[in-house]
């Protein structure tokens, strides 16, 4: 029978179970991005109102042990530092209310040193440039109250240069529009106070065309619907104040059909095996749609509104 509600208690039990099971397949294949996995799991638990079920001491110890001398964080202990995991580490410590346990000023220095002359950011010392890294840098600095450490105007110029004729954004100038990159570029431009540079109606037309007859959203034309796009697409529409441009109840119906009614967790597609990544994005999508009983999430910083309200320097988006 098709599910008609979000199975919140089952999802909380699922996230707790898989985050403790170091023997599982999921645990093994996510070794290189453990830091982001911890962020997805913890964020899901926060939105579900079940953060207390997680072992905060153990998680904080893990995050601290992933910080390098240079200030950046690796995806796991002894893994090289990268902006992707530096943002996740900052988010995790804020979720736990333990930011003081990491060296935030060193993290700021690490991020600032990755900005290049054209305003873009390299992801790490090896130099790959991607609008995702602009978002990671600006979001982490915004959360730390240290946007002053980089050239925000140039950062916005680079992100704006990734805009395409269809209103969407790619990884680099000329790169194909992709909803994941659009989330990053909308977020980066919003944090940089440059959202006026977005072609709002054109972009939102492209975004709402991502909804398929199943109610689910895809990330690019001709692709299948996938629960994670309930976040990448919906957060962008929400940040641009156009959430009503898609059919929210049809999307929720799709997310409900991707739930594992027995073991909990949400999969990318109906009948697939659940994972923590899609569980977080499914729950976060329902939160953006105002599902009763879930904590609200800030579509720009990808953090609970409650946590954002506790920060003296970074108001939640729209407040």
- Considering the complex, what minimum distance in angstroms separates the CB of residue 262 from ligand FPP? 26
Stretch that binds ligand FPP, among 16-24, 117-125, 176-184, 208-216 (CB under 6 A): 176-184
* Binding residues with ligand FPP: total (CB under 6 A): 12
Looking only at residues 83 through 122 of this chain, which bind ligand FPP when binding is defined by CB under 6 A? 84
The reply on whether position 226 binds Zn ion by CB under 5 A is yes
Closest residue to Zn ion: CB criterion: 228
Residues in 223-252 at the binding interface with ligand FPP, rule: CB under 6 A: 232
Q: Concatenate the DSSP letters of all residues of 210-232 into one string.
A: TB-TTS-B-SSTTPPP-TTHHHH
Residue 181 near ligand FPP by CB under 6 A: yes
Per the structure block, which two tokens stand in for 218? 């895809």
Is residue 96 close enough to count as binding Zn ion by CB under 5 A?
Answer: no
Cα(132)–Cα(121) distance, integer angstroms? 9
Q: Build a one-symbol-per-residue string for 245-284: x at contacts with Zn ion by CB under 5 A, - elsewhere.
A: -----------------------x----------------
Taking CB under 5 A as the binding criterion, the range among 1-9, 109-117, 161-169, 227-235 that sits at the site for Zn ion is 227-235
- Counting every residue written for the chain, the total comes to 319
CB 26 within 8 A of CB 278: no
Cβ-contact 249, 6 below 8 angstroms: no
Measure the CA–CA gap between 175 and 239, rounded to whole angstroms: 22
φ, ψ of residue 278 to 5 degrees: the values are -75, -25
Distance CA 232, CA 277 (A): 12
**SS3 of residue 183 by DSSP:** helix
Residues that bind Zn ion (CB under 5 A): 226, 228, 268
Residues that bind ligand FPP (CB under 6 A): 84, 132, 135-136, 178, 180-181, 183-184, 219, 232, 302
């Amino acid at each position: 029978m098709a599910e008609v509600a979000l199975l919140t208690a089952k999802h909380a039990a699922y996230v707790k179970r898989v985050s403790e099971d170091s023997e599982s397949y999921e645990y093994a294949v996510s070794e290189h991005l453990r830091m982001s996995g911890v962020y997805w799991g913890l964020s899901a638990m926060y939105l579900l109102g079940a953060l207390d079920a997680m072992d905060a001491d153990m998680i904080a110890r893990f995050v601290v042990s992933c910080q390098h001398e240079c200030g950046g964080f690796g995806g796991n202990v002894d893994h090289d530092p990268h902006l992707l995991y530096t943002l996740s580490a900052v988010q995790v410590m804020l979720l736990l209310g333990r930011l003081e346990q990491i060296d935030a000023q060193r993290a700021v220095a690490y991020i600032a040193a990755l900005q290049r002359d054209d305003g873009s950011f390299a992801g790490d010392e090896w130099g790959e440039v991607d609008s995702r890294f602009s978002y990671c840098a600006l979001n982490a600095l915004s959360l730390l109250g240290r946007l002053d450490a980089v050239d925000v105007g140039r950062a916005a110029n680079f992100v704006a240069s990734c805009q395409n004729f269809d209103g969407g954004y790619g990884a680099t100038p000329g790169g194909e529009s992709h909803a994941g990159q659009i989330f990053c570029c909308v977020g980066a431009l919003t944090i940089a106070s440059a959202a006026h540079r977005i072609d709002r109606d054109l972009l939102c037309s492209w975004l709402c065309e991502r909804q398929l007859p199943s109610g689910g959203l895809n990330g690019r034309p001709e692709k299948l619907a996938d629960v994670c796009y309930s976040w990448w697409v919906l957060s962008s529409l929400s940040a641009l104040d156009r959430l009503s441009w898609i059919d929210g109840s049809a999307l929720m119906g799709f997310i409900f059909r991707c739930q594992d009614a027995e073991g909990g967790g949400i999969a990318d597609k109906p009948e697939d095996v659940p994972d923590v990544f899609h569980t977080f994005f499914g729950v976060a999508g329902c939160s953006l749609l105002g599902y009763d009983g879930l904590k609200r999430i800030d579509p720009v910083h990808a953090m609970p509104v409650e946590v954002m309200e506790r920060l003296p320097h970074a108001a939640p988006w729209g407040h």
